[in-house]
């Protein structure tokens, strides 16, 4: 026990002496939370558009005024030809162009029909679609405005309720995602680097040759990073609740418990990696390429898994972060309880045992 | 003297299997896997329908939704609460509740209500899914209306007909949008990591002392580090472009030469940042971390994942200092819109300034004597 | 005849915060000498040397190398010196010949000169067949010799060696000193730090540093007489008794 304590202290010394790394370890989750929480959003706001007003009459002015008033759009420039629209799109100045034909008011007044053209820069299809929907809505609003309260018969109204995230905040998905990523980075990568460093410095052999049980060595490497990870989880949750207005709808204990489990999973992954290589650089690269990248891609936090080709969906099942992500999402955002997530928890638990088992076996092999 | 340094750098790279693997495999792997994963198109929206009316009209709506490409009717439930479970389990994305007396209300009272409950955990998907649903409901509404009510030839109310044209990407293909962006990310990762690790490695191993004691000039040393990575950057870019062409069929609308031109300046800026980190970091782990930290922020705020226009003002200001943002813009402009060099002169200028600033800074910070 | 002084220091000092690593050392080294800079680990030898070769900036004091002031003309100094660091800093991942080419190049030799020199060097070391061998595959003693030869490939006026014989067996050490003799015989001044006291006997003059100060400076023979000791080791032990600083 005394030995364990000594080792853990030593590890903490190592960590605290490296001030720059330490700074990043704690700053990274905070920075990410802030970016995701405040900067990144799927909401459309202040999109720059151009208007081609062919009519210059009261009707067109009124329509344009509605666009001006909208928070979704910002009128960047007025143009006179569609060729100009092309140029503006190409120079990335606008994302949408509204084309009002000449005699707009006259047409509306005399034949009760007029045509408006909306040109969208479809380089980003989703944005284009959303912009078109919003622009269409503004035109429809205008149309309803000039309609003298004549209601079309046989009207169906659809009421929409947005569940769990009525304000359509982007942050909701990101928080569990950031948690998963940070925990993986700290627990897996740093632990593996720390163990490998001993190998590189040749101190590993000395330790192994001593009466110290290897398990103590490993635990002592893991504990500091477990502590740091738990601190990071707490930081993330605090920022989420206080700054981002994203409360924890489910049980906090469950969230912490699952985080603890995932940290263990990540630690065992780190262990596995440290068994494979003797060089710090390699450990780093494997952690990044073999862990982080698949996590980013296949865990479901950045890219929707359901859109992926089937083989990739299958592949995503072996990425532990995917399961962690589902659990946290369900508990934090949907407020679900243990009963709904026990399956995923069991999977994570099983994975952890598997990784630990592999590491242990490899480790014993090396000793022989 | 510069040549001598370059020779050594290339020698080292040649004999470093890890680096070679990164150079050649990473582009391939990333470009092949990422675009497959990065499909944000909203399709296959799972519907759960609660039909409390069981009428002809509700059946009609049911069929119409089922026939749509956008929706998959995953489940039918008897009550909203039952349906909610499917959303909790992530089996359905939207619940459509058709209330009792729906058909009667529509015919007798001339108006009826439907309700949609949307899983908005993923805000974007929820939004778009909902708008698809509304479109279909409106179409459905119009069809019913026509049955009962002949619209006079002369519109009693003004109707504005809106036509939509999607420019530059008629197929609304997400791949076309993502692949160029991913290429930029790829280049950024390779370039910055390699650059950041390089000088620190020499520090850790000790060879940097020998160099510091020699008459070599600072700028020669920095250039000697810069040029090999520049070359590697171009190789990665070329591999990336080839994969885009032959695997995804993406043929740039614009001038490929422009891509290389911009990449040249961009790489310089990026490498400058990497070198700067490298001179500051004391260990490889630190260099990696600092590099990772900045790259992550750059990439997230680069406009690939979410558009810069929707960011709050202060965030947009920050992105002005983000080189990744400019390259992604330019890449898309060239690939999809055939933009010309004058269209991108702002971006070129800014990246050029960054390149000069960071590299000069690295040279100044690098001290042979402490 | 007044020997030309190639290294002159005056009250050279290096402080790190409150800690004075090198305390106002003053000495001169003559051309062609083998000058041994002795002391225990932590005594300040390496720090002193690093000031002379431009890695550390002195806190105070003056020094000139080959007539050039270390503050104003360091770049000139570097053209006239060679250096072999404690870790023999060679590039372990590339072949012998490439290391030679590289260092020759950064010391300013032309391609032609490098070609000639490298052939000479390899022959002298008996490594002609190992030209293409990756350095990490060489035994320690060979790396040592290689590092030294590369340090003087440009025929510098002075070569600085920092603990060049660390980690090798005594026989290899002796052989290494033969190389040093050969270099000195051809006119190169050798400034070598070491904590092996028996190597002191190989030097023309030595200085012993204790706690950052130079406590003794003379030829080995004179010092033995002065301290009435049979070996330099004894002298060192006497001086070190008073030392307050322990090893690094």
* pLDDT tens figures, C82-127: 988 877 778 888 889 988 988 888 888 888 988 999 999 999 888 9
pLDDT at site A299 = 81
Query: How far out from the chain centre does Cα A25 lie?
Result: 18
Same domain, A192 and A59: no
Whether B159 maps to a domain, the answer reads no
Same domain, B298 and B328: yes
Whether A11 maps to a domain, the answer reads no
Question: Which residue range(s) make up the domain with A73?
Answer: 47-146
* pLDDT tens figures, A183-206: 888 888 888 888 887 777 667 777
Whether A26 maps to a domain, the answer reads no
Same domain, A315 and A239: yes
For the beta carbon of residue B246, count every other beta carbon within 10 angstroms. Answer: 9
- pTM, to two decimals: 0.76
Which of B116, B164, B337 comes nearest A132 by C-beta?
B164
Whether A346 maps to a domain, the answer reads yes
Stretch 106-165 of chain C: residues touching chain B, C-beta under 8 Å:
106-108, 134
Chain B interface includes A158 (CB < 8 A) = yes
Whether B352 maps to a domain, the answer reads yes
User: Under a CB-based contact definition with an 8 Å cutoff, are residues B26 and B191 in contact?
Assistant: no
Question: Which residue range(s) make up the domain with B269?
Answer: 2-38+174-365
Whether B9 maps to a domain, the answer reads yes
pLDDT at site B151 = 62
Are C106 and B4 inside 8 Å of each other by CB?
yes
Mutation target vs C (from B210, B216, B369, B370; most C CBs, 10 A cutoff): B210
Same domain, A223 and A326: yes
Same domain, B326 and B278: yes
Chain B interface includes C101 (CB < 8 A) = yes
For the beta carbon of residue B173, count every other beta carbon within 10 angstroms. Answer: 18
Same domain, B264 and B180: yes
Whether A110 maps to a domain, the answer reads yes
Stretch 61-100 of chain B: residues touching chain C, C-beta under 8 Å:
none
Same domain, A133 and A253: no
Same domain, B273 and B293: yes
Same domain, A200 and A339: yes
pLDDT band at C1 (very low <50, low <70, confident <90, very high): very low
Q: Which two tokens stand for residue C172?
A: 């290899």
User: Under a CB-based contact definition with an 8 Å cutoff, are residues A11 and A5 in contact?
Assistant: no
Contacts of B292 in chain A (CB under 8 A): 24, 288
Residues β-bridged to residue B160? A114
Contacts of B368 in chain C (CB under 8 A): 54-55
For the beta carbon of residue B13, count every other beta carbon within 10 angstroms. Answer: 18
pLDDT at A228 over 60: yes
Same domain, B53 and B24: no
Burial state string for A114-136 with b = 16 or more CB within 10 A and e = fewer than 16: bebbbbbbbbbbbbbbbbbbbbb
Q: How many domains does chain B have?
A: 2
Mean pLDDT, residues A330-345 taken together: 86
**Neighbouring subunits of A (3+ Cβ pairs under 8 A):** B
Chain C interface includes B207 (CB < 8 A) = yes
Are A122 and B343 inside 8 Å of each other by CB?
no
Chain B interface includes C13 (CB < 8 A) = no
CATH number of residue B135's parent domain:
3.40.1710.10
Among residues B148, B182, B205, the one where a domain terminates is B148
Same domain, A103 and A205: no
* pLDDT tens figures, B246-257: 888 888 888 888
Whether B164 maps to a domain, the answer reads no
Cα–Cα distance, C71 to B369 (Å, whole number)? 11
First to last CA, chain A: 26
Whether B21 maps to a domain, the answer reads yes
pLDDT at C248 over 50: no
Whether A7 maps to a domain, the answer reads no
Same domain, B284 and B180: yes
Whether B65 maps to a domain, the answer reads yes
Same domain, A218 and A361: yes
* pLDDT tens figures, C44-69: 888 999 899 888 889 999 999 999 99
Same domain, B119 and B229: no
Mean pLDDT, residues A279-304 taken together: 77
Distance from the B215 Cα atom to the nearest Cα atom in chain A, whole angstroms: 30
First to last CA, chain B: 24
Please compute, for residue A189, the number of CA atoms within 13 A of its CA located in the half-sphere on the CB side.
26
Among B191, B96, B112, smallest CA distance to B145 is for B112
C–A contact (≥3 CB pairs within 8 Å)?
no
Percent over 70 (pLDDT), chain B: 96
Residues β-bridged to residue B73? B47
Same domain, A270 and A133: no
Among A286, A264, A262, A289, smallest CA distance to A274 is for A286
Q: Assign 3-class secondary structure to B307-337.
A: CHHHCCHHHHHHHCCCHHHHHHHHHHHHHHH
Same domain, A194 and A284: yes
**Own/partner pairs for B235-240, CB < 8 Å, 24+ apart?**
B235/B23, B236/B23, B236/B26, B236/B27, B236/B186, B236/B187, B236/B190, B236/B191, B237/B183, B237/B187, B237/B263, B239/B24, B239/B27, B239/B28, B240/B27, B240/B31, B240/B183, B240/B186, B240/B187
Mean pLDDT, residues C232-244 taken together: 80
Q: What domains can be seen in chain C, in order of their start residue?
A: 5-80+156-241 (3.40.50.300)
Among residues A113, A146, A179, the one where a domain terminates is A146
* pLDDT tens figures, A234-255: 998 898 888 887 788 888 889 9
pLDDT at C247 over 60: no
* pLDDT tens figures, B166-224: 888 777 777 777 788 888 888 888 888 778 777 777 777 778 888 888 888 888 888 88
Are C89 and B206 inside 8 Å of each other by CB?
yes
Same domain, B233 and B337: yes
Same domain, B133 and B218: no
Whether A176 maps to a domain, the answer reads yes
Which of A91, A130, A156 comes nearest B339 by C-beta?
A91
Residues in chain C: 248
Q: How many domains does chain A have?
A: 2
Same domain, A184 and A224: yes
Same domain, B51 and B30: no
Whether B243 maps to a domain, the answer reads yes
Same domain, A249 and A116: no
Chain C interface includes B1 (CB < 8 A) = yes
Same domain, B265 and B124: no
Whether B227 maps to a domain, the answer reads yes
Average pLDDT of chain A?
Answer: 83
pLDDT at site A168 = 66
Distance from the A99 Cα atom to the nearest Cα atom in chain B, whole angstroms: 10
Cα–Cα distance, B144 to B203 (Å, whole number)? 77
Which of B41, B118, B297 comes nearest A31 by C-beta?
B297
Quote the Cα angle for B68-B69-B72, to 5°: 80
pLDDT band at B157 (very low <50, low <70, confident <90, very high): low
Cα–Cα distance, B137 to B106 (Å, whole number)? 14
Chain B interface includes A39 (CB < 8 A) = yes
pLDDT band at B153 (very low <50, low <70, confident <90, very high): low
B–C CB contacts, 8 A cutoff, strictly below = 80
Distance from the A95 Cα atom to the nearest Cα atom in chain B, whole angstroms: 10
User: Under a CB-based contact definition with an 8 Å cutoff, are residues B362 and B222 in contact?
Assistant: yes
Please tell me which residue, C164 or A147, carries the higher pLDDT value: C164
Same domain, B15 and B54: no
* pLDDT tens figures, B89-117: 888 889 999 999 888 888 888 888 899 99
Q: In what order do the strands lie in the sheet with A47-53?
A: A73-79, A47-53, A96-100, A113-121, B159-167
Cα–Cα distance, A227 to A224 (Å, whole number)? 5
* pLDDT tens figures, C178-231: 999 999 999 999 999 988 888 888 999 999 988 888 888 999 999 888 888 888
């Amino acid at each position: 026990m005394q030995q364990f304590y000594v080792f853990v202290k030593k590890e903490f010394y190592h960590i605290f002496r490296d001030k720059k790394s330490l700074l990043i370890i704690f700053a990274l989750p905070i920075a990410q939370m802030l970016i995701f929480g405040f900067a990144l959003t799927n909401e459309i706001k202040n999109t720059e558009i151009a208007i081609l007003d062919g009519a210059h009459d009261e009707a067109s002015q009124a329509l344009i005024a509605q666009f001006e008033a909208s928070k979704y759009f910002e009128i960047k420039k007025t143009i006179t030809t569609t060729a100009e629209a092309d140029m503006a799109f190409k120079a990335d100045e606008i994302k949408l162009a509204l084309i009002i034909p000449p005699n707009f008011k006259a047409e509306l007044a005399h034949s009760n029909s007029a045509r408006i053209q909306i040109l969208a820069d479809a380089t980003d299809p989703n944005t284009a679609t959303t912009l078109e929907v919003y622009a269409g809505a503004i035109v429809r609003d205008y149309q309803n405005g000039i309609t003298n309260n004549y209601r079309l018969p046989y009207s169906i109204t659809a009421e929409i309720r947005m569940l769990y995230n009525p304000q359509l905040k982007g942050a909701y998905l990101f928080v569990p995602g950031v948690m998963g990523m940070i925990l993986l980075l700290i627990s897996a990568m740093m632990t593996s680097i720390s163990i490998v460093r001993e190998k590189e410095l040749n101190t590993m052999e000395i330790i192994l040759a001593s009466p110290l049980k290897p398990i103590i060595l490993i635990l002592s490497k893991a504990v500091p990073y477990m502590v740091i990870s738990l601190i990071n989880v707490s930081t993330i949750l605090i920022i989420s609740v206080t700054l981002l207005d994203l409360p924890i709808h489910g049980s906090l204990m469950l969230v912490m418990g699952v985080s603890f489990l995932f940290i263990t999973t990540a630690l065992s992954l780190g262990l596995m990696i440290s068994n494979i290589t003797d060089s710090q650089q390699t450990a780093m690269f494997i952690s990044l390429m073999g862990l982080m990248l698949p996590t980013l891609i296949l865990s479901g936090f950045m890219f929707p898994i359901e859109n992926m080709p089937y083989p990739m969906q299958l592949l995503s099942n072996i990425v532990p972060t995917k399961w962690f992500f589902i659990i946290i999402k369900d508990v934090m955002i949907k407020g679900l309880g243990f009963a709904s997530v026990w399956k995923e928890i069991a999977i994570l638990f099983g994975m952890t045992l598997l990784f630990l088992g592999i590491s242990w076996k490899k480790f014993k092999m090396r000793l022989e | 003297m510069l040549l001598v340094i370059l020779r050594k750098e290339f020698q080292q790279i040649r004999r470093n299997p890890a680096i070679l693997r990164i150079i050649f495999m990473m582009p391939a792997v990333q470009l092949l896997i990422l675009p497959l994963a990065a499909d944000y198109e909203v399709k296959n929206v799972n519907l759960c329908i609660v039909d409390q009316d069981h009428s002809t009209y509700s059946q009609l709506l049911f069929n119409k939704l089922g026939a749509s490409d956008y929706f998959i009717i995953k489940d039918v439930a008897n009550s909203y609460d039952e349906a909610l479970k499917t959303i909790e389990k992530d089996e359905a994305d939207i619940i459509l509740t058709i209330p009792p007396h729906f058909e009667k209300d529509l015919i007798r009272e001339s108006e009826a209500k439907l309700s949609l409950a949307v899983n908005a955990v993923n805000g974007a998907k929820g939004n778009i899914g909902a708008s698809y649903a509304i479109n279909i409901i409106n179409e459905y509404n119009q069809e019913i209306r026509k049955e009962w009510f002949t619209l006079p030839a002369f519109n009693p109310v003004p109707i504005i007909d809106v036509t939509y044209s999607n420019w530059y990407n008629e197929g609304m293909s997400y791949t076309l949008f993502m692949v160029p962006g991913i290429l930029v990310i790829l280049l950024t990762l390779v370039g910055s990591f390699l650059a950041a690790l390089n000088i620190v490695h020499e520090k850790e191993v000790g060879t940097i002392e020998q160099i510091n004691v020699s008459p070599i000039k600072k700028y020669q040393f920095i250039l000697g580090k810069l040029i090999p990575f520049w070359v590697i950057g171009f190789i990665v870019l070329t591999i990336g472009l080839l994969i885009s062409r032959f695997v995804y069929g993406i043929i740039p609308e614009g001038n490929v030469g422009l891509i290389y031109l911009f990449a040249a300046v961009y790489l310089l800026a990026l490498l400058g940042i990497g070198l700067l980190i490298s001179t500051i970091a004391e260990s490889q782990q630190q260099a990696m971390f600092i590099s990772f930290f900045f790259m992550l922020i750059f990439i997230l705020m680069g406009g690939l994942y979410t558009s810069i226009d929707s960011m709050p003002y202060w965030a947009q200001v920050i992105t002005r200092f983000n080189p990744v943002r400019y390259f992604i813009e330019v890449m898309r402009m060239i690939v999809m819109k055939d933009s010309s060099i004058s269209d991108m002169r702002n971006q070129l200028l800014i990246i050029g300034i960054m390149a000069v600033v960071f590299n000069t800074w690295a040279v100044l910070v690098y001290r042979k004597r402490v | 005849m007044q020997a030309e002084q190639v290294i002159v220091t005056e009250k050279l000092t290096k402080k790190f915060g409150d800690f004075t690593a090198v305390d106002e050392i003053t000495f001169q080294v003559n051309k062609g000498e083998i000058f041994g800079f002795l002391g225990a680990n932590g005594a300040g030898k390496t720090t002193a040397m690093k000031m002379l070769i431009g890695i550390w900036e002195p806190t105070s004091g003056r020094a000139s190398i080959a007539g050039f002031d270390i503050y104003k003309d360091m770049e000139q100094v570097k053209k006239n010196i060679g250096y072999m660091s404690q870790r023999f800093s060679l590039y372990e991942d590339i072949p012998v010949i490439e290391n030679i080419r590289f260092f020759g190049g950064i010391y300013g030799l032309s391609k032609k000169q490098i070609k000639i020199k490298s052939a000479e060097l390899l022959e002298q070391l008996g490594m002609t067949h190992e030209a293409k061998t990756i350095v990490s595959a060489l035994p320690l003693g060979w790396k040592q010799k290689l590092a030294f030869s590369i340090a003087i490939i440009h025929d510098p006026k002075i070569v600085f060696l920092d603990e060049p014989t660390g980690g090798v067996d005594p026989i290899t050490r002796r052989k290494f000193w033969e190389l040093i003799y050969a270099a000195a015989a051809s006119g190169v001044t050798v400034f070598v730090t070491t904590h092996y006291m028996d190597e002191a006997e190989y030097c023309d003059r030595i200085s012993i540093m204790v706690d950052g100060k130079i406590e003794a400076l003379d030829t080995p023979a004179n010092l033995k007489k002065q301290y009435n000791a049979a070996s330099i080791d004894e002298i060192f032990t006497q001086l070190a008794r008073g030392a307050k600083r322990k090893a690094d």
